Homo-oligomer: A and B are copies of this chain.
Amino acid sequence: MSELLEKTCTACVAGAPLATEVEIATFSPQIPEWKIEEMDGIKCLIRVYAFDNFVQALAMTNKVGALAEEVGHHPALMTEWGRLTVSWWTHKIKGLHVNDFVMAAKTDALYQAG
Contact = CB atoms under 8 A, between A and B. Distances in A.
Instruction: Count chain B CB atoms within 10 A of each CB in A61, A77, A79 and give the residue with the most.
Output: A79
Given A61-B61, A62-B62, A55 B69 contact: yes
A105 to B, nearest CB: 20
- Interface residues of A toward B: which range? 10 to 19
A61 to B, nearest CB: 7
Interface string A77-91: 111110000000001
A58 B79 CA distance: 11
A42 interface: no
Contacts of A74: 54, 80-81
A34 B81 CA distance: 21
Interface string A50-63: 00001100100110
A109 interface: no
